Amino acid sequence: MQLLIVRHEEAEKPATGAQDEDRQLTERGKRRMRRAVKGLRTAMTEIDTIATSPLVRAVQTGRILAGAYGVRKPQKLSSLEPSGDRNEVLTWLQEQGENETVALVGHEPHLGLLASWLLAAPLNHFVEFQKGGACLLAWPDAPAPGNGWLKWAMTPRQLRKLGHT
Name the H helices within the chain. Answer: 27-43, 56-69, 86-94, 110-120, 156-162
DSSP 164: T
DSSP 26: P
How does pLDDT run across 77-117, given as a tens digit for each residue? 999 999 999 999 999 999 998 899 999 999 999 999 999 99
Residue type, 145: P
The strand pairing partners of 152, in sequence order, are 136
Q: Give the predicted TM-score (pTM) of the model.
A: 0.94
How does pLDDT run across 36-78, given as a tens digit for each residue? 999 999 999 999 999 999 999 999 999 999 999 999 899 999 9
Strand blocks (E) in the chain: 2-7, 49-52, 75-76, 101-106, 134-138, 149-154
Domains of the chain: 2-10+22-162 (3.40.50.1240)
Banded model confidence at residue 157, pLDDT cuts 50, 70, 90: very high
CA distance 127 to 1: 20
